Structure 1
Amino acid sequence: MLTTFEDEEILAAALRAGAAGFLLKGVPAEDLQRAVQTVAEGGSWLDPAVTGKVLATYRDGAPPMPSGGLDALTPREVEVLELIGTGLSNAEIADRLTLSEGTVKSHIGHVFAKLHLRDRAAAVVFAFDHGLVRPGPRPEG
């Protein structure tokens, strides 16, 4: 969704309706291009200006995090979780880590199971909450 409104109700409605991306009008062309590509590859994209709102809303309704946290993950699973947190698609993670997409999907499944996460959004929140990523533009390369 591309909008001029930085309104929490519009954001929530778009996400509930299944939007995989949310950008504010005026975003640099490069970010718009990357967002469209990421969503087309099955990933998701949030404008950095609304990331904090999404995280706060999710935290308010999320169940408590399981004990163990990052200690339950292998170093590779932590890498994959970090890259999910930056908004990369499975294909981009595979490319970045020189793995097959199938291997990435396997790692993601292990991360979800070990941390009792239900979806990618929960994984992003977990990555932010545990300092693996910080709000702001996605790092290049």
Structure 2
Amino acid sequence: MAITDLPVLAMLRTRMQWSQARQGLIAENVANADMPGFRPRDLAELRLDRATGAPVGGTGLAMTAPGHMAPAGQAGPGTEARRAKGFEIRPSGNGVNLEDEMMKAGDTQADYQLAASLYQHSLTTLRIAIGKS
């Protein structure tokens, strides 16, 4: 087993990948803020198994390659349309709230930076522990 295959490092890598995917969806929501009928999407909250670091939860069918089609009613793995309150939907049918999207973008960026920092410090600690500083 390689050092980078430790569960804690796998969890941090998964968290960083999830944050990256969420930032992509947030950017898509902001880019479509003026498109009539557009509904914002967000990723389902990430849950990890503490023992293995693998994501937990029934995601059902998964797209394992870029050429795969998404399951019916689903735009991508783990994405779900956020239900906008009635007063948040504009007359054009667009439900994107830019303030909410910017708050989510900031939170996601902070989560990514925390996971990246913990990953880097974990690798540094492992190097020190094996005598390679």
TM-score calculated relative to the size of structure 1: 0.22
Q: Which has the larger radius of gyration?
A: 2
Instruction: Kindly indicate whether structure 1 or structure 2 has the higher relative contact order, using CA contacts under 8 Å at least 6 residues apart.
Output: 2
TM-score by length of 2: 0.23
